[in-house]
Homo-oligomer: A and B are copies of this chain.
Amino acid sequence: MTEHQDRPAAAMTAAQAELIRRLAAQLRVDSIRCSTQASSGHPTSSLSAADLMAVLLERHLRYDWDHPALATNDHLIFSKGHASPLLYSMYRAVGVVEEDELIHTYRQFGGRLQGHPTPVLPWVDVATGSLGQGLPDAVGVALAGRYLDRLPYRTWVLCGDSELAEGSIWEALDKAGYYKLGNLTAIVDVNRLGQDGPTELEWDMDRYARRVDAFGAQPIVIDGHDISAIDEALTRARSRPDQPTVILAKTIKAKGVPEIEDQNGWHGKALPKDMAERAVAALGGPSNLRITTALPEPGTPAITPDPGAAVSLPRWEVGEKVATRAAFGAALSALAARPEIVVLDGEVGNSTHAGDFKDAAPDRYFEMFIAEQQLIASAVGLSVRGYIAFAASFAAFLVSRPFDFIRMAGVSQASIRLVGTHAGVEVGQDGPSQMALEDIAAIRAVHSSIVLYPADGPSTAQLVQTMADTPGISYLRATRVHTRSSMVQRKNSRSAAAKSTTQAPTTP
C-alpha cells in the first residue's frame, strides 16, 4: 500500500561503533543510578537490552525530539515497560530529560518518570507495564502508518521474553503478518530469566524463530550484545517492506554487572548502593554523552481529519422500529464522511452492523477476526496517530475478553470507542455465555470510561456521533431486537449532544 521506500542505512563506521559502545555504557550506568537512587525498579532487565537500544537510537530511529507529535516520527514502544530505566536513560541521552530529573525523580510521587511508562511523557505513545500489550498496540500504530497516513515511519517495539507467553503477542504477530506490516519491528530481549526463575523457552532461539516464522513475521536471531549483528538485523528489518520482523536477541540479564549477570533472583531489584557504585565505576562512571538522532524525512499524512465534515445521520420517525445495532451501523456509515473515522471488527460485522461501514469506506475498515485483545489494541494504536477508531463485537466478548486492554487504555488516557451488541439477557436462546451481564460494572470501573445504553434508533445515532468527539473510553451497548423510536430527532444533529452524555467524565 505504501509507495515509500525506506532509506537504506549506510554501513556502520568504526567511530559510530565506538560511539554506540559509549552510549550503551551510559545507558547502563544511568539505568543503575536512577533505580538504585529510587531503591526500586528493574535495572537488570534494562541492562540486557542496552546494546539493542543504543544501536537503534544512534543508527535507526528517526525522531524529532522537539516535536514528538510530528506525523512522520518513528514510534518506539517498550512492551517490556518495566525496563523504564533504560527508556528514560535514552531520553536523557537525546537531551529531553535532564540528569537531575532522571536520577532524582524516577519513581517518585508526582514525577513523570513513573515505574512503568505512560503518555504523561510526550514521547510515550501508550502505557505499558501489563505484559503483552505494547506489541499489540504497535500493530495499531503500524496499521495507521501503512494504510492511513501512508508515511514511511517505522514502529519499533522492545519486548521481553517472558511476555511471549501471552497469547496476545501471537494475536499481534498474526495480524501484523496478515496486514503485511513491514513497518513494524519487534526486538525481543531474550535474557532467559523471568521474575521467578527461567522462562519457559530460556535461550531456545530456534523454537522462538519457528513460532515467529509460522505466524508470518521474519525472524532474525542474533547475539543481542554484538553491535554489528544488531545493526545488521535492524537494517534487514527496514529492508523488508511487506513483512514484519522479529529480532530475537539472545542477551544476558544484568549484562555489564558481572557479579549478577545471568543470575536468578535479581528481577525487579535495584542494585544495593555499594554494588551500584562498583558497577558504575567498572562501566566507566557517569557520562554526559549526547546523541543526535536522525530526523524523519518530511511528509504529510494521506488522510487529513475533517471533524467538521457534513454528516447526515440516519433518521427514524417516532414509533418506527429499528434495532439499536442497526442504528449504530447506519450512523457509523454516515460518519464515514469524516476521513479520520476508522472501524475495527471482530469477525462479526454482519451481526453488529459495524460491517455497514465497510461499504462506505472499505479502506478504513480493518478485520481483526476473533481476537478481541488485538481488536482493542488496534484501536489504541490507531488513536496514537489521532484516528477515531470504533471497535465492535458482541458485548459479551468485547468487554470481558480484552478487559485488561481496556484497563490499560484508561492508563494510556487513550480515546477509543467500543460498541457491544446483543447485550444483556435478550439473547436467551443462545445461553448465558452469550449474554453481556458484567459489562457495565466492568467498564465503569475503568478510568475515563462512560457507558451509553440507548433505547431507540434516534438516540443511538446521536450517541454514536457524540462518541466520535468524546475523549476517553466510551462504550455503547446495543441490542439485537427492534425497539420503537421514542425520541424526536433534532434537525441540527451535528452539534447536539444527547442528554445522557452531559454528565460524562473526560480525561484530565
The residues of A with any CB-CB pair to B shorter than 8 Å are: 38, 40, 81, 107-109, 114-116, 118, 127-132, 162-163, 165-171, 174, 178, 194-197, 199-200, 207, 210-211, 213-215, 345, 347-351, 355, 369-374, 396-397, 400-401, 403-404, 407-408, 411, 428-434, 437-438, 440-442, 444-447
Contact = CB atoms under 8 A, between A and B. Distances in A.
Contacts of A132: 370
Q: Give the interface centre of A163, A199, A441, A446 by most chain B CB atoms within 10 Å.
A: A441
A273 B315 CA distance: 36
Given A116-B433, A166-B371, A167-B168, A174 B200 contact: yes
Contacts of A210: 210, 213-214
A445 B437 contact: yes
5 contacts: A127-B431, A131-B370, A211-B211, A211-B214, A442-B442
A166 B430 contact: no
Copies in the complex: 2
B442 A438 contact: yes
Contact of A167 (B171, B200, B440, B442): B171
Given A428-B109, A444-B441, A130 B171 contact: no
Contact of A432 (B127, B215, B351): B127
Contact of A430 (B129, B196, B349): B129
A430 to B, nearest CB: 4
Contacts of A411: 431-433
Q: Give the interface centre of A167, A196, A350, A397 by most chain B CB atoms within 10 Å.
A: A167
B200 A178 contact: yes
B397 A404 contact: yes
B200 A207 contact: no
Contacts of A369: 162, 165, 194, 199-200
A404 B400 contact: yes
Contacts of A130: 396-397, 400-401, 433
A351 B269 CA distance: 12
A438 B428 contact: no
A195 B107 contact: no
Give the 9 A-B CB pairs with smallest separation, nearest first: A167-B167, A129-B433, A400-B404, A438-B445, A441-B445, A114-B431, A403-B403, A115-B430, A210-B214
A169 B401 CA distance: 13
